[in-house]
Chains A and B, each alone.
Chain A
Amino acid sequence: MAIAHVSPGTSTHVNPERTGRRIPYLLMLPGLLWLFIFFIYPLINLAETSTKTRAASQETGAFIQTYRFANYLDAFIEYQDQFLRSFTYAFMATLLALVISYPLAYAIAFKSGRYKNILLILVIAPFFTSFLLRTIAWKQILGAEGPVVSALRALHLIGPDTTITASSFAVVMGLTYNFLPFMTLPIYASLDRIDPRLMEASGDLYANGLTTFRKVTVPLSMPGVVAGTLLTFIPAAGDYINAAILGNPTTKMIGNVIDSRFFRIVDYPTAAALSFTLMAAILFLVIIYIRRSGTDELV
């Protein structure tokens, strides 16, 4: 720096200011390149596919570009039930995950003392096993021979012939379970960041425990709640593994439809159109949600 100031006129020196300005772009380059190759390019490709129609030859997998935007409408009308079901399941799973995660995150953040790190590791521990395997394990747990059903039968809470698997209940349970850490960790992070003196100040200003929770703790943990619900809802709405393993034909989610259109029926245009519709629908819901939760106002 000093050299450049002493000899501003010499052209042999690279202007440090200009190099400095270039550095951020250089640092972003690998990421941008990655995004372009594996996200932007496939997205363009998908968009292109979504308006194609089957080739005249009727050969499997042969499509020609006809810019048929009606593909979207056709696909949506045909699968609106699955769309609705996806969002309903995702919503229920998100709500359940929130109800389970908030007290858990609260306990870890404020009441766990020296067990804090162990508990946090336990929250992440399921990730050491594959998503698929864990979901299959749930099939065993909820299965007719599994502990849940036999316990419920013994308590006469369900009839001797009732099963839990292959039901919407099992799908929502699976979704809730699989995305629970994505809810717990952001809530924990924002609770943990709250200065305990703010709670003391609240108590000092005549708020009892419950009021302090409502007026101080909850508002200050909102960024975590919003992040957690988004991280749960978005992948849950697009998920197909839980419905495939724990559901039945009447619990198909939009992800299952896209999966079968792509890989079984080989109807690429419909699958692509459904993918874009799902993406748009999620984006739309998320924007409304963020606007209404007003988290942008939080510091």
Chain B
Amino acid sequence: MVDLTSSAVGDLQLRNITKRFADFVAVDDLTLTIPKGSFFALLGPSGCGKTTTLRMIAGLEEPTSGSIHIGDTDITHTKPYQRPVNTVFQNYALFPHLTIFENVAFGLRRRGMKDVDEAVTKVLALVELGHLKDRKPGQLSGGQQQRIAVARAIVNRPALLLLDEPLGALDLKLRRQMQIELKWIQTEVGITFVHVTHDQEEAMTMADTIAVMNKGKIEQMGSPVELYENPKTVFVANFLGQSNLIEATVQTNSGAETSVDIHGSRILLPSSRNTSSKSKVLVGVRPEKINIQTEGSSAGKNSLSGGVVTDISFVGVSTQYQVEMPWKQEIMVFEQNDGGAPNSRKGDQVTLSWEPHFTFALDSES
């Protein structure tokens, strides 16, 4: 077998990848470069094409058109077993008839590697499960199986590690712990990780770069902070965290500040954060950026008055208010739990205010 692991090291490139199933386009003309050594997340709702993209990188599906490259090597038409790519499958797909040791050794043995014992022992130590090497997968807990699935893949030192919803089957607490662990393992081994998930928190915790996918296309790509603070589309604004999006009309659009009108209130935002060129826009602000106070306005800030608190829920780290505005739209406000008493009660008339630079504006379509 050709040893691609040494020759094909470099960035992963997807060039104009399209995957069509019968009458449905799963991935639509996708072009993407994933830098070597990064932890990259493909984030999107189910059916957005992220898993199909991953399967094409693994070689389990063939793209209808376009090409896939690792460094200078075109791997579009190579078989899965010829690619320097390993996958951590959803539900792990550990071999039930083999011991943990043999599961991890599987890839090494297939390539006729020497020192299988040493490599397997080392990687089992890395995931701290060396003591379970003689067990069968069925005797392990979900979290342990997950770590074995990671070990079985990274022991091969692939150019690329693909993770298909790897934490989906774990409970919340274990998922949090594994997120940190996976991130640590990635830093430790320095392999490029491509992670597919529908869980925005999971993607944000682990990935350096996130590509948000929707309907077979990438909506926006960037660091977690970038995506959260500067969503460029309505889909991204709603998929990553929560956003309040309010219809507005642009009044002045010159210089560093843009001024918009929301039902009679003048709202300012940095022009650089207005991604629309139209006069009708959606103005967005994250719930935790908004201050809530009883009637009365504060100067120098964006403010909307006339809201009525319709619901309050206390979730520990914050109190979440639902405020109904005079134009019947519900606005979410998160107030951090800093020890003080809640600002408002249900039924209170309130004014919402926030700093202009927390405001963004999006195209109302799409």
Range for the number of chain B residues in contact with chain A: 20 to 34
Question: Is B96 in the interface zone, CB < 8 Å from A?
Answer: yes
CB interface residues, A 173-221, toward B, < 8 Å: 195, 197-198, 200-208, 211, 215-216, 219-220
Flag if B81 contacts A208 (CB, 8 Å). yes
Given A203-B81, A206-B107, A206-B111, A298–B60 Cβ distance below 8 Å? no
CB interface residues, A 17-59, toward B, < 8 Å: none
A204's nearest neighbour on chain B, judged by CB, is B87
CB interface residues, B 88-118, toward A, < 8 Å: 89-91, 93-97, 106-107, 110-111
Question: Is A157 in the interface zone, CB < 8 Å from B?
Answer: no
Flag if B110 contacts A204 (CB, 8 Å). no
A299 to B94 CA separation, bound complex (whole angstroms): 13
Flag if A201 contacts B93 (CB, 8 Å). yes
Question: Is B175 in the interface zone, CB < 8 Å from A?
Answer: no
Contact of B95 among A201, A208, A211 (CB under 8 A): A201
A28 to B91 CA separation, bound complex (whole angstroms): 38
Contact of B97 among A205, A211, A220 (CB under 8 A): A220
B-side contacts of A198, CB under 8 Å: 93, 95-96
Question: Is B13 in the interface zone, CB < 8 Å from A?
Answer: no
> How distant is A22 from chain B, measured CB to nearest CB, in Å?
33
> How distant is A44 from chain B, measured CB to nearest CB, in Å?
42
Flag if B91 contacts A197 (CB, 8 Å). yes
Query: Residues 71-98 of chain B: 1 if any A CB is under 8 Å from the residue's CB, otherwise 0?
Result: 0000000011100011101110111110
Flag if A207 contacts B106 (CB, 8 Å). yes
A-side contacts of B80, CB under 8 Å: 200, 203-204
A195 to B95 CA separation, bound complex (whole angstroms): 10
A-side contacts of B90, CB under 8 Å: 197
Flag if B95 contacts A197 (CB, 8 Å). no
A-side contacts of B95, CB under 8 Å: 198, 201-202, 216
Given A197-B93, A201-B87, A207–B110 Cβ distance below 8 Å? yes
Range for the number of chain A residues in contact with chain B: 10 to 19
A interface secondary structure, majority: helix
A-side contacts of B58, CB under 8 Å: 204
Contact of A204 among B81, B91, B97, B138 (CB under 8 A): B81
A203 to B81 CA separation, bound complex (whole angstroms): 5
B105's nearest neighbour on chain A, judged by CB, is A205
Flag if B96 contacts A204 (CB, 8 Å). no
Question: Is B152 in the interface zone, CB < 8 Å from A?
Answer: yes
Question: Is B1 in the interface zone, CB < 8 Å from A?
Answer: yes
B85's nearest neighbour on chain A, judged by CB, is A204
Question: Is B136 in the interface zone, CB < 8 Å from A?
Answer: yes
A204 to B81 CA separation, bound complex (whole angstroms): 5
Given A208-B81, A220-B97, A299-B97, A200–B89 Cβ distance below 8 Å? yes
B152's nearest neighbour on chain A, judged by CB, is A205
B-side contacts of A195, CB under 8 Å: 93
A171 to B87 CA separation, bound complex (whole angstroms): 51
B112's nearest neighbour on chain A, judged by CB, is A206
Query: Residues 113-150 of chain B: 1 if any A CB is under 8 Å from the residue's CB, otherwise 0?
Result: 00000000000000000000000101000000000000
Flag if B156 contacts A205 (CB, 8 Å). yes
A292 to B223 CA separation, bound complex (whole angstroms): 57
> How distant is B196 from chain A, measured CB to nearest CB, in Å?
15
A205 to B85 CA separation, bound complex (whole angstroms): 8
A219's nearest neighbour on chain B, judged by CB, is B97
A-side contacts of B60, CB under 8 Å: 200, 203-204
A164 to B148 CA separation, bound complex (whole angstroms): 58
Pull 24 A–B residue pairs with CB atoms less than 8 Å apart, ordered by A: A198-B93, A198-B95, A198-B96, A200-B87, A201-B89, A201-B93, A201-B95, A202-B106, A203-B59, A203-B60, A203-B79, A203-B80, A204-B58, A204-B81, A205-B110, A205-B152, A205-B156, A207-B81, A215-B106, A219-B97, A220-B96, A299-B96, A299-B97, A299-B136
Q: Which residues of A contact B (CB under 8 A)?
A: 195, 197-198, 200-208, 211, 215-216, 219-220, 298-299
4 smallest A-B Cβ distances: which pairs?
Answer: A205-B107, A206-B110, A201-B93, A203-B80
Q: Which residues of B contact A (CB under 8 A)?
A: 1, 58-60, 79-81, 85-87, 89-91, 93-97, 106-107, 110-111, 136, 138, 152-153, 156
Known: A200-B60, A203-B80, A298-B97. 14 other contacts (CB 8 A): A201-B87, A202-B95, A202-B106, A203-B59, A205-B86, A205-B106, A205-B156, A206-B1, A206-B81, A206-B107, A206-B156, A207-B110, A215-B106, A299-B96
